[in-house]
Amino acid sequence: MNKKLHPEIIKHFHSTTFMTPIIGVTGGKGGVGKSTVAVNLAAAFVAQGRRVALIDADVDAPNDSILLGIPLENPEPVTIMQPIFDPEKCTDCRKCVKACQLNSLFRPQAKTINLMGECNGCEACYLVCPEGAISRGSHSVGTLYKTERGKLTLYTGALQPGLAESALVVNAVRDAAFAEADQFDIILVDTAPGTHCNVISALKGADHVLAVTEPTPLGSHDLELILSLLEMFAMQRSVVINRSDLPGKKEKVEQAARASSAPIAGEIKLDKDLLAGYLQGTPVLIFCRIHRQQRFSWIWLTI
Ligand code: SF4
Ligand code: SF4
């Protein structure tokens, strides 16, 4: 995976229009406790008096609101352009059919263009139509939510079930938070698991990325993949080992971290307070404030 990207791409990837630091929380694998780290880190910053924006960019399965025990509020639809055809103006040139890279446009009979299949709102058909026979309709692909509680603002992106346009929703939730970046002392981005483009889109502009993993063979394997991706985009990175006292292969995780020049920012041991917080939908910091706060603050101090 480790190929060099053009310096201009890296520069563009890292550019933002504001000064607020952005910390990404990611993980090559699902179920390693990435969201638990993100919400507890957010709670730790709030406990220090900082204004925090937490972006839940795992748009297929956003769950930070559940872990925080707060509802999703202020819904706003995320829409994309969807073509509307006017048979009166259509001259049957079929340029739109040829322009659609998803092959979603069909002409069952003269002057009739039907959209059958996926449409990502690219507008190619609209732009090539020489007759103005296509107008811009809109189609909802997901919902943005903004929930404010004291110094914490949670931005959540939720993809409409069954749709594939997750990248659009990731960009929309990131842009919504970035537009208000000056109101915050820190922005945390909780990405989807994996190494696909949505993870990279969510991490755009991040000053540092925490890769959360666990000491299992799958954990160290997927950690190598995500670290390699972060390296490709020249992102500052460190590793958080969750459930570090599992009788697993912690040395493999440490090896992968060393190979990628990523320090271990923190280790979180299995404990009953974390589990209880998880079961109650309450960050462990709120559930068991004092020594837990030190634990998550320590991650921040390390990066
Ligand atoms: S907007 Fe793009 S994807 Fe949708 S029908 Fe037109 S060309 Fe195809
Ligand atoms: S590009 Fe416009 S005029 Fe040509 S077939 Fe499509 S809708 Fe009709």
Model confidence at 232: pLDDT above 90? yes
Q: Which amino acid, one-letter code, is at 122?
A: C
**What's the confidence (pLDDT) of residue 290?**
41
Enter the pTM of the model: 0.85
The per-residue b/e assignment along 112-148, b for 16 or more CB within 10 angstroms, e otherwise, is: ebebeeebbbeebbbeebeeebbeebebebbbbbbbe
**What's the confidence (pLDDT) of residue 57?**
97
| pLDDT tens column, 179-191 | 999 999 999 999 9
Average pLDDT score over residue span 118-122 = 88
Residue nearest to atom 3 of ligand 2 (CA): 90
* 3-state SS record for the chain: CCCCCCHHHHHHHHCCCCCCCEEEEECCCCCCCHHHHHHHHHHHHHHCCCCEEEEECCCCCCCHHHHHCCCCCCCEEEEEEEEEECCCCCCCCCHHHHHCCCCCEEEEECCEEEECCCCCCCCHHHHHCCCCCEEEEEEEEEEEEEEEECCEEEEEEEECCCCCCHHHHHHHHHHHHHCCHHHCCEEEEECCCCCCHHHHHHCCCCCEEEEEECCCHHHHHHHHHHHHHHHHCCCCEEEEEECCCCCCCHHHHHHHHHHCCCCEEEEECCCHHHHHHHHHCCCHHHHCHHHHHHHHHHHHHHC
- CATH code: domain 83-138 is 3.30.70.20
Regarding the beta carbon of 122 and ligand 1, being less than 6 Å apart is answered yes
Give dist(CA 184, CA 120) in Å, integer: 32
Please choose from 98, 112, 131 the residue to mutate so as to test ligand 2's pocket, defined by most ligand atoms within 8 A of CB. Answer: 131
**179: left (phi > 0), else alpha (psi -120 to 50), else beta?**
alpha
Average pLDDT score over residue span 49-70 = 93
Domain boundaries, the chain: 7-66+141-302, 83-138
Ligand 2 centroid from CA 117, angstroms:
18
| pLDDT tens column, 195-209 | 888 899 999 999 999
Residue positions counted in the chain: 303
Average pLDDT score over residue span 100-125 = 90
Q: Are 44 and 293 in contact (CB under 8 A)?
A: yes
CATH 3.20.20.100 assigned to 7-66+141-302:
no
Q: How far is CA 154 from the centre of its chain?
A: 13
Question: How confident is residue 238, by pLDDT bands cut at 50, 70 and 90?
Answer: very high
User: C-alpha dihedral over 53, 59, 64, 66, to 10 degrees?
Assistant: 140
Ligand 2 centroid from CA 132, angstroms:
8
Q: Are 169 and 145 in contact (CB under 8 A)?
A: no
**What's the confidence (pLDDT) of residue 280?**
64
Ligand 2 centroid from CA 77, angstroms:
29
Please choose from 80, 94, 100 the residue to mutate so as to test ligand 1's pocket, defined by most ligand atoms within 8 A of CB. Answer: 100
Question: How confident is residue 287, by pLDDT bands cut at 50, 70 and 90?
Answer: very low
Q: Which atom of ligand 2 is nearest to the CA of 91?
A: 3
Q: Which residue has the higher pLDDT, 281 or 228?
A: 228
| pLDDT tens column, 167-182 | 889 999 999 999 999 9
Give the residue among 143, 199, 218 at the shortest CA–CA distance from 24: 199
Q: Are 130 and 93 in contact (CB under 8 A)?
A: yes
**191: left (phi > 0), else alpha (psi -120 to 50), else beta?**
beta
